[in-house]
Chain A
């Protein structure tokens, strides 16, 4: 029933056009919340109306001709087939229009490129399939990936109606937080393949490319939550790495930074303490769901021929060092989780897969051990100082 209703709603919309659009719909580009995004929107509308006017002129002439100059109305063909004058006219007019469009476009382009005098910098690294944010001024650093509710609903035949999931596929576990009215310089790079970072409300997207540092800037002038997605095909879960930016008043933002720093200290001490196997397994289950289940499946059965099973795997039920080494450094399609997971999560999921999903090896590994191993990983080669 719902489907039929939607179908009719869709068809009705097609018939009656823009007027009846529901609030959910946007048919046009959004104006956004930065001066750049409004400039871009203005340019978009300008070129749109130029096209509409040209379209009316060309199609108007054509349809007049189709209606009146038809054989069935007894119209005799005239045999003209050349006019240098008219050819020159319809070469020059478009040229003038193009020049008039190029001038404002150049202005916006130059403005977009001007990353000078920024107040703060955020480094964005694309990973398959999550974003890493690093605040270069305050040292805050975290990963941001698809939230658990969307992730469960988006599994093949999950039985969960996406309409019941708030902000389906546009929600993350940990959003990027920025202050308003602050010129923020973004630095973009990638750890594995090319991604592209796009929040429509900011007015642009930028590719994140391994070995490159790209720059862009923004200054949000309204507090709010702005959502976007990866827009460069980056593999299987390309459609499932959203971006959420929360813009807040400066004092709120500063409070958030302090909180993040305290959290980092707490995490560090959690990594140093002794964990019981039960606690690790309990924590590991949710880490598994968020990071591993999309390939190795929620029940650990994997996907024959493509993603190996965890259940009964010789590697997982064998020597723990080999398993941890693979998880740290990755191999082929298996991403290197060494830098993606903090020591507690890493130890938790390592322990979980050995003692859950049908496996029962009975051992566990401590976060402190992982921390030492992670310390030995050479720093990422994609450093910002080569820009």
Chain B
């Protein structure tokens, strides 16, 4: 059926290109344009959130208070997290989804193009509203991105704006997720059965279900905060018969799957890139799919491992400890499969592959510390220290962010028809890979030595490692300007070298997009492809 419709449209819109001028970017319903909008917006927010991180690291460079007040420091840790999670990492993956899912499954566009446009602009509205709280009386929210009551209820004028921005971001994410599910279920090329889909499509399908399940939960939690503050309810107020710990349960029921929303598409892109540069099919395709589904399922039943110290009953502590430890099994399967994919390959190390290998290694380190803190009695020491900060940054920066970079280098020649500067890109990789470890590795030591997280100043025995970490932060932060330069140069013409259709050697065996011309035309797969690649299963 979809084939018929597509052919019909093909006749009508034969020479239909993008809208001229600036308006193209406002009203576009083209999945490629919307993908670009998401990616550019994510990059901008990466720098906004990154600047906040640099304010934090500047204050922590030395003991004593030098630059900001403690209240503003708390606003920075809160806003850094919210901007990075909802403004940078999630939109970047939605950007890749928009660009790549139709290309990978042989569809002409996303299933719901107008909604696609709306979900992008709601995201912008939500983030702008969140950013506006920085200028409000009483300052931006300063209670951590978890927004725990009762503390969050002490926020000034910003509270309702922060809550409404969460609502907007939630609506945007849900709409994006619906669109992705509808596209994958309805728009695949006839021979593209579910178990033949590229792993990136699979991981996004599962991620989209996670999003639909959790965003309403978060919206509910913050709405209860709103009514507690303005309408005299007592959901979380002990004095009124409520329960502050209830909020934490609701929040982490959202929050734990949320962190997997940021890592599952990462797995998908890594599983796409590594086979291409190993010149081998992905090892254990079906076990990769099942492992992703298993991780997604487990993410719903482990939330209280974020709350081991709130004083749960023993049965609860033990259950959440055992359930959390189980996550190591499917995650291990993934890491072993990537290693097996490289084994006996014929590897080359272009920038996307370098970032992907760094991801596998450094994400595994983050996984190890994750296993350590799964053990509840030891978590009583680790909890809310810099050890945790190191852990989740290892799973987010050299994992999600590195893979976003890898994906950008991997696909940008296909999207623009221009090759990026490989020498500069490798330099960007090595700068990032080294500085990210100078930045985050010492934080393990700080946490174990007893430094709590979210403090603007610290005892002098923590001074040296904080200084090292701050130096790493500034190198890492400024290195990313190089990424912007490389990408800008690529869009403007790159090295001038003509890019072949498949860009990477034998890439057409792995996925559909490499059989299209470079740069990809504005409209693709008006008729669904006859043949699909078979390399990945």
Contact = CB atoms under 8 A, between A and B. Distances in A.
B345 interface: yes
Nearest to B447: A29
A79 B281 CA distance: 7
Given A43-B375, A82-B283, A91 B329 contact: yes
A376 interface: no
A88 B263 CA distance: 24
Contact of B314 (A40, A109, A239): A109
B143 A70 contact: no
Given A58-B339, A232-B384, A236-B70, A10 B464 contact: yes
A65 B339 contact: yes
B346 A69 contact: yes
B321 to A, nearest CB: 7
Given A200-B450, A239-B456, A231 B377 contact: no
Given A30-B450, A109-B377, A194-B151, A81 B342 contact: no
Given A105-B375, A154-B64, A333-B154, A77 B279 contact: yes
Interface in B442-458: 442, 445, 448-450, 452-458
A76 interface: yes
Interface residue tally on A, bucketed by range: 35 or more
Contacts of B360: 62
A40 B321 CA distance: 15
B228 interface: no
Interface string A56-84: 00110110011001111001111111110
Contact of A62 (B69, B282, B342): B342
Contact of A10 (B69, B339, B368, B465): B465
B297 interface: no
Interface in B342-400: 342-349, 357, 360-361, 364-365, 368, 371-372, 375-378, 380-381, 383-385
Contact of B457 (A110, A169, A230): A169
Nearest to A54: B368
Contacts of A326: none
A16 interface: no
Interface string A265-298: 0000000000000000000000000000000000
Interface stretch (B205-213, B238-246, B415-423): B238-246
Given A47-B371, A51-B372, A70 B332 contact: no
A105 B343 contact: no
B112 interface: no
A11 to B, nearest CB: 7
Interface string A81-110: 111001100110011001001100110111
Interface in B484-513: none
A62 B361 contact: yes
Contacts of A109: 314, 317-318, 321, 376-377
Interface string B423-455: 000000000000000100010010011101111
Nearest to B369: A51
Contacts of B453: 231
Contacts of B461: 24-26
Contact of A27 (B314, B371, B445): B445
B283 A62 contact: no
Contacts of A333: 154
A232 B311 CA distance: 14
B339 A62 contact: yes
A153 B317 CA distance: 41
A34 interface: no
A300 B83 CA distance: 36
Nearest to A228: B450
Contacts of A229: 450, 452, 455
Interface residues of B, number: 102
Given A105-B375, A169-B457, A203-B381, A209 B310 contact: yes
Contacts of B345: 65, 69, 75, 77-78
A167 B459 CA distance: 7
A112 B380 contact: yes
B329 to A, nearest CB: 5
A25 B449 contact: yes
Interface string B458-498: 11110111011001000000000000000000000000000
Contacts of A233: 74, 143-144, 148, 151, 454
Given A94-B328, A236-B70, A77 B151 contact: no
A43 B139 CA distance: 43
Given A6-B467, A7-B467, A168 B63 contact: yes
A194 B251 CA distance: 15
B344 A77 contact: yes
A207 B346 contact: no
The main secondary structure of chain B at its interface with chain A is: helix
A92 to B, nearest CB: 9
B182 interface: no
Given A110-B314, A209-B245, A212-B238, A157 B371 contact: no
A313 to B, nearest CB: 18
A101 B321 CA distance: 11
A42 B364 CA distance: 23
A91 B333 contact: yes
Nearest to A208: B311
Nearest to A74: B346
Contacts of A240: 70, 457
Contacts of B283: 80-82
B442 A14 contact: yes
B381 A237 contact: no
A40 B460 contact: no
B325 interface: yes
A183 interface: no
B372 A44 contact: yes
B336 A90 contact: yes
B284 A82 contact: yes
Contacts of A19: none
Contact of B311 (A200, A212, A239): A212
Nearest to A3: B62
Interface in A232-284: 232-240
B326 interface: yes
Contact of B64 (A39, A82, A158, A207): A158
Contact of A306 (B71, B150, B459): B71
B376 A105 contact: yes
A374 B239 CA distance: 20
A81 B65 CA distance: 56
B340 interface: yes
Contacts of B468: 10-11, 13-14
A43 B285 CA distance: 36
16 contacts: A6-B463, A13-B464, A24-B461, A55-B364, A58-B336, A65-B339, A69-B343, A70-B348, A78-B345, A109-B314, A194-B148, A204-B380, A210-B244, A233-B454, A238-B74, A239-B452
The 6 lowest CB-CB distance pairs between A and B, nearest first, are A211-B238, A239-B455, A214-B311, A204-B380, A77-B346, A51-B368
Interface of B: 62-66, 68-71, 74, 137-139, 142-144, 148, 150-151, 154, 156, 238-239, 242-245, 278-285, 287, 309-311, 314, 317-318, 321-322, 325-326, 328-329, 332-333, 335-336, 339-349, 357, 360-361, 364-365, 368, 371-372, 375-378, 380-381, 383-385, 438, 442, 445, 448-450, 452-461, 463-465, 467-468, 471
